[in-house]
């Protein structure tokens, strides 16, 4: 059974978690161009890499960040969100 470590509840079966995709910085909707907004809404970085992703432990509702290698499914680290923890800098609209 594949396990993932919830930062609050510890190691649990992967079936208890859902992935909400890569952490992405949202452009400011008030000032963003339509093209930049469409890029944010639809486009994804689907090239294999170690990525920061949003995950949720569904029985407890804990949202957290996992650093996972999407070519091997190796989970490197999991931790709660904290200001400054994002690898991708906030991007300009």
Partner 1 sequence: MFTRHERLKPSYDVVIIGAGGHGLAAAYYLARDHGIRDVAILEKGYLGGGNTGRNTTIIRSNYLTPEGVQFYDESVRLWQDLSQDFDLNLFYSTRGHFTLAHTDAAMRTMRWRAEVNKHFGVASEAVDSQAVRAAIPMMDMTCGGHAPVVGALYHAPGAIARHDAVAWGYGRGADQRGAEIHQNTEVVAIELEDQGSGARVAGVITNRGRIATRKVLCAVAGFTPRLLAMVGLRSPIYIHPLQAMVSEPIKPWLDPIIVSASLHVYVSQSARGELVMGASLDPYELHSTRSTLDFAESLAAHMLDLFPFLSDVKVNRQWAGLADMTPDFAPIMGLTPVRGFYLDSGWGTWGFKATPVCGKTMSYTVAKDADHPLIKGFTFDRFARYALTAEKGAASVGH
29 or 42: CB nearest partner 1: 42
Ramachandran region, residue 85 (left: φ > 0; alpha: ψ -120 to 50; beta: rest): alpha
Q: Least Å distance between CB 38 and partner 1?
A: 5
- Minimum CB separation of residue 83 from partner 1 in Å reads 26
| Between 37 and 81, CB nearer to partner 1 | 37
Tokens matching residue 77 = 């680290």
* Interface contacts to partner 1, rule CB under 8 A: 2, 15, 18-19, 21-22, 34-35, 38-39, 41-48, 51, 53, 70-73
> Smallest gap, in angstroms, from Cβ of residue 71 to partner 1?
5
Q: Are 64 and 6 in contact (CB under 8 A)?
A: yes
C-alpha distance from residue 1 to each of 27, 42, 47, 81 (Å): 38, 33, 26, 26
């Amino acid at each position: 059974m594949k396990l993932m470590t919830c930062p609050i509840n510890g190691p649990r079966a992967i079936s208890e978690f859902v992935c909400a995709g890569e952490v992405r910085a949202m452009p400011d909707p008030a000032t963003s161009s339509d093209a930049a907004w469409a890029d944010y809404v639809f486009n994804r970085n689907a090239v294999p890499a170690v990525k920061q992703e949003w995950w949720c432990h569904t029985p407890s509702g804990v949202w957290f960040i996992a650093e996972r290698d999407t070519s091997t499914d190796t989970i490197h680290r999991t931790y709660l969100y904290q200001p400054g923890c994002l690898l991708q800098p906030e991007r300009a609209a």
